[in-house]
Amino acid sequence: EIVLTQSPATLSLSPGERATLSCRASQSVSSYLAWYQQKPGQAPRLLIYDASNRATGIPGRFSGSGSGTDFTLTISSLEPEDFAVYYCQQRSNWPYTFGQGTKLEIK
């Protein structure tokens, strides 16, 4: 099973700042990595798939990069609604697995 490790566990930033979230895989997942956002009491929302493709309706301030074992989700300028938990997820090998999440909180 591929283990995804996200860092940091918690990121404290202010609106308008740039956020950089990391996800490292225990073995190569090629570009088969997605990012999801989850707010309290809500279902996850797909942001990025296959490392760098924005999902339908996702604002341009969200971008993804990386391949192999190291991936990054960048939010260029934080909006108040961006404070949430973010998960990475791989679909390279079954079972598909998620990282443990990064909580993005308001500083």
Partner 1 sequence: EVQLVESGGGLVQPGGSLRLSCAASGFTFSSYWMTWVRQAPGKGLEWVANIKEDGSEKYYVDSLKGRFTISRDNAKNSLYLQMNSLRAEDTAVYYCARDIGPGIGDNWGQGTLVTVSS
Question: Which residue ranges make up the site for partner 1 (CB under 8 A)?
Answer: 32, 34, 36, 38, 42-46, 49-50, 55-56, 87, 89-91, 94-101
Q: How far apart are CA 4 and CA 30, in angstroms?
A: 13
Q: Are 91 and 34 spatial neighbours (Cβ–Cβ below 8 Å)?
A: yes
Nearer to partner 1, 26 or 100 (CB): 100
Least separation, in Å, of the C-beta of 46 and partner 1?
Answer: 5
Taking phi first (over 0 means left), then psi (-120 to 50 degrees means alpha), and beta for anything else, what does residue 69 get? Answer: alpha
Nearer to partner 1, 16 or 94 (CB): 94
Least separation, in Å, of the C-beta of 15 and partner 1?
Answer: 26
Nearer to partner 1, 74 or 96 (CB): 96
Q: What are the backbone dihedrals phi and psi of residue 81, each rounded to the nearest 5 degrees, phi first?
A: -80, -5
